[in-house]
Every structure is written in C-alpha cells, then in structure tokens.
Amino acid sequence: MSMQPESDVVSLAPGPYDACIEACQACATACDTCAGACLSEGKAAHMAACIRNDIDCAEICRLAAGMMARRSDHALMVCKLCAAICHACAAECRKHPEDHCQACADACEMCEAQCLEMIQ
C-alpha cells in the first residue's frame, strides 16, 4: 500500500518525450565512453577536439533529458541546442577511425534526430 496520496503518484506511462530522453541518455553514455577512451589511448592532444565535443555533448544531453523528464517549459529550447551540439560531436567523431568514436557518432546522430523531431 502506497503512503502517498493518489494525486502525488507519478505516472510512468509512456510520454511524448520518452524516446528523446532515452536517446539523450544513450548519447551521454556514448560520449562519456568516447572521451574516456580517447584520454586513455595516450594521444589526448591529438584527440582534444573530440574530447571537448564529447564532454559538451554529454552535458547537454543530460540537461535535455532532465528537463524533458521534468516536463520543463524550456525543454524544447534545450533540445534545439542539444541537436546542434550532437551534430558537431558526430562530425568530429566521424573524423576518427576508432570504434568508440564511430559508436559515439552513431549515438549523437540518433540523439540529434530525436531532438529535431521533438522541436518540429
């Protein structure tokens, strides 16, 4: 038996943001993984742009996912920025042949597409 009044129970029914939230979360994880791998490969200076993009992208994806989960009035503005940063991160990662960079680019492209769908 729940201790919360029914009016305070959060619905876990699928919502309009769910696919985008999932894409943002997956992208943030892929970007964190890519940045970590780039740093551990011993060529961080060569991969500096990739690492910076990964960190920026992971942060905006987490912000966008949180704002959508809260149904923030500003979520769509953040989704627009998220799409642009995902696009930039994917473009940078595509320049590098490493598997983690290609996986990151894939996740960024998926997230960009989901964010663009949200703002249309």
CA gap 47, 119 in Å, rounded? 32
Domains plus CATH for the chain?
16-119 (1.20.1270.360)
Q: Summarize pLDDT for 53-93 with one digit per residue, the tens.
A: 999 999 999 999 999 999 999 999 999 999 999 999 999 99
The whole-model pTM stands at 0.87
CA dihedral for 81, 87, 92, 98, sign (positive or negative): positive
E strand map for the chain:
none
Higher pLDDT, 9 or 64: 64
